[in-house]
Structure 1
Amino acid sequence: MLAKKRYSIILEMLDRDGTVHTAELVEALGVSSETVRKDLEELDRQGKLRRIHGGAVPLQQPEAPAPMVGYVALSTRNSLHMEEKQRIARRAAAMVEEGQVVALDYGSTSQVLAQALAARFQRLTVVTNSIQNALILADKPGFTVILTGGILSRDERTLVNDFPTGILDYVHVDILFLTVTGIDPVAGLTDQRLGEISMQNQMRNAASRVIVVADSSKFGRASLVRICPISAVEAIVTDGGVDPEQAAAVEACGARLILV
């Protein structure tokens, strides 16, 4: 497709939707995220739109608000970026071997990953603080599901604790798949809830490998609670909508990006 035609489609989508996102344009145009980035830069230079992180807005639109860092309900997150989360989950599941011990924390991406593990494997041990994850895996007879224990957080359907000792002091985890709400080179990996941070770090300390699973909307955000620096994880599995500059900055911190 010629650049002129791509420009026309981008502007039509922008006029229709009020904003365009890199991931949507990659799918609509059938080109790479790098081509989309260059197209948006050129249209910005021509004064036809204003490029922002992860997409573009009309030229007359006021400055985009800062990324949301307050609490977003699980029911809402379960409807956002689901295609991306499914691709991420399939790629993450491919990093696991039959019979391994896997840790899953809480959240919508974690639940999609639990479904991917159930579909792919016959025998795993899964350590989780998510009641939803446990229910997803409960019908797999070859799976051993270990709930971490603690106090029920009703809105997230998770178990949280600040106890000095717990089950994670006595188990070895091959891979922890860590979910986050913010990925920023300076702030590191962040989350939105104080209650879960202790459990996430207990899982991280028990794991030989730590892999972050997060869609591209999490990049460039810094949420309330700092989990760990980016350098503390092996890799981040995400979708192709990541801004190349953000991707380079994250990889410079020491974590490998795996784009799906």
Structure 2
Amino acid sequence: MLTDQRKKAILEALARDGQVLAGELSARFGVSEDTVRRDLRELAAQGRVQRVHGGALPASAAIAPLAEREDMDVDAKRRVARKAASMIEPGQVVIVDGGTTSALLVQCLAPDLVATVVTHSPSIAVALAAHPAVEVVLIGGKLYKHSVVSVGAAAVEAMSHVHADLYFMGVTGVHAKAGLSTGDYEEAYVKRALAARAAETVVLACASKLNAASQYRIGDLDLAQTLIVDAAAPARLIRPIEEAGLAVVKA
């Protein structure tokens, strides 16, 4: 089997099964594991797979710069954002992550909503500055420019003083076995810290983030209680997540 044929078969297996193992691929293709690992390295360099110990997972497409991500899956993100906004009750303290779906979420808040939004995203805070009844708490720290959010020790320390009702988490990957992931080490740490400060964590994701993984693991799926996803997402992507125990709400 030629290299291109092996790579195509690997991608097809990832789309079907959600993961591949180098040993199984070696036996299937009749080549050495070193050859399979080389194929996986090349696919990873192209951003098409996420390598893990022993094999690979589908790579998330949601790791592009913020300006590019703003134009991706806009309608699906808006539906997810609208459903998330409807979950907020008057008087609640809500943590809102950075990201493009979160930016749409705050646009969906009712103008008469009385609540407190805690965020480590300067752009989310600015978007809420004109809201007449939402109090905004902005968490500072080192600015991670890719996602325009605060990260680092100062941000984590500030979060330790928050007790929130809800945390709306943005991710780049939701995978039944690999869990929740993102593209930056410090951002993953901050997301874990935020989840620990909320009574309920709600993950916001469009279909492109399902059955996918990024370089840095935030935690297992049970770090969250709910996943909001666009209703148009294929059932084959949603089913493994539900079977893993995460409640899925379709928007």
Decide: shared fold, TM above 0.5: yes
Partner residue, 1:191: 182
CA offsets 1:43-77 (integer angstroms, 9 cap, x no match): xxxxxxx99959xxxxxxxx9x4454484100011
User: If the length of structure 1 is used for normalisation, what is the TM-score?
Assistant: 0.71
> Partners of 2:156 and 2:250 in 1: how far apart?
37
> Partners of 1:199 and 1:154 in 2: how far apart?
15
Superposition pairs of residues 173-192 of structure 1, within 5 angstroms: 173-192=164-183
Superposition pairs of residues 157-236 of structure 1, within 5 angstroms: 157-163=148-154, 166-236=157-227
Q: CA deviation at 1:243?
A: 2.6
Contact 1:185 1:253 in 2 (8 A): yes
Contact 1:93 1:120 in 2 (8 A): no
Q: Percent identity?
A: 30
Superposition pairs of residues 99-138 of structure 1, within 5 angstroms: 99-117=91-109, 119=110, 121-138=112-129
Q: Give the AA of the match of 1:196.
A: E
Partner residue, 2:80: 88
> Partners of 1:249 and 1:85 in 2: how far apart?
21
Q: CA deviation at 1:152?
A: 1.8
Range with greater deviation from structure 2 (150-159 or 160-169) = 160-169
Q: Give the AA of the match of 2:124.
A: N
From 64, 69, 72, give the equivalent of 2:64.
72
> Partners of 2:181 and 2:80 in 1: how far apart?
19
Q: SS state of the match for residue 166, structure 1? A: helix
Partner residue, 1:40: none
The RMSD of aligned alpha carbons is 2.5
Range with greater deviation from structure 2 (77-86 or 108-117) = 108-117
From 232, 237, 251, give the equivalent of 2:242.
251
Q: Give the AA of the match of 1:231.
A: D
Instruction: Could you tell me which runs of 5 or more consecutive residues in structure 1 were left unpaired when the two chains were aligned.
Output: 1-49, 55-62
> Partners of 2:99 and 2:160 in 1: how far apart?
23
Q: SS state of the match for residue 134, structure 1? A: helix
User: If the length of structure 2 is used for normalisation, what is the TM-score?
Assistant: 0.74
Q: CA deviation at 1:191?
A: 0.7
Q: CA deviation at 1:158?
A: 1.4
Aligned length: 202
Instruction: Could you tell me which runs of 5 or more consecutive residues in structure 2 were left unpaired when the two chains were aligned.
Output: 1-11, 17-42, 50-57
Relative distance call for 1:140 and 1:165 in structure 2 (3 A) is same
